[in-house]
Amino acid sequence: MATVIHQQFQMVVNQIFNNWTALQLAIDHGMGGPLSRQIANDLETYLVDVCCKENNITEELIEDILLETLEEDFHTECEDNSPKEISRILYRFICLLKEGKINEYETEFNKLPTRSGVSITSPSQSQNAHSSRVQEGDMEVEESPMEEPEEDGWTTIKGKRKR
């Protein structure tokens, strides 16, 4: 059962990370250096492991992991509150899986947005391809142009959400 939860949660994290504009911009613009894509892959693996193994996982812990990686590894600070939103969504999914609510998990998973041509994993890693889901969810964030790093090396991603 633990392996099934791990695999299903891995699919969720991968899907969400592939659609998270702030993370994709940080990867695309090399904010983590030449290993930006690997840092994102490592974040995905670590987050899945922690959420699946930790009995007392919280939204706050997930958010802390996301914020720490963005700030320390990608030198990126999000002003759009997306790490909080991502942590809320991930927390909901891990709870559904741990509670054995597979039907509800599948319904929610099928609602996740997809974005074609965007992936944090290399083509060889995406062999667990998901069925095409084009339905838009609550997580849609309008893309904004990347700003130049400030003097301290940080880049600020400003929120431009459609409400």
Q: What is the pLDDT of residues 70-114, one digit of tens each?
A: 999 999 999 999 999 999 999 999 999 999 999 999 999 999 988
Higher pLDDT, residue 50 or 139: 50
Higher pLDDT, residue 66 or 124: 66
Is residue 26 left, alpha or beta, with left meaning phi > 0 and alpha meaning psi from -120 to 50?
Answer: alpha
Mean pLDDT, to the nearest integer, of 5-31?
96
Q: Where are the domains of the chain?
A: 2-118+137-157
What is the model's pLDDT at position 3? 87
Tell me if the pTM is above 0.75.
no
pLDDT at 56 over 70: yes
What is the model's pLDDT at position 37? 96
Per the prediction, the chain carries an average pLDDT of: 82
Q: What is the share, in percent, of the chain residues with pLDDT greater than 90? A: 67
Mean pLDDT, to the nearest integer, of 32-54?
96
Higher pLDDT, residue 3 or 52: 52
What is the model's pLDDT at position 154? 73
Task: Report the range of poorest mean pLDDT among 56-65, 81-90, 118-127, 141-150.
Answer: 118-127
Mean pLDDT, to the nearest integer, of 15-19?
96
The contacts found for 155-161 with CB under 8 angstroms, 24 or more apart, are 155/29, 155/31, 155/75, 155/76, 155/77, 156/77, 156/79, 157/21, 157/22, 157/25, 157/76, 157/77, 157/78, 157/79, 157/80, 158/79, 158/80, 159/78, 159/79, 159/80, 159/81, 159/82, 160/80, 161/80
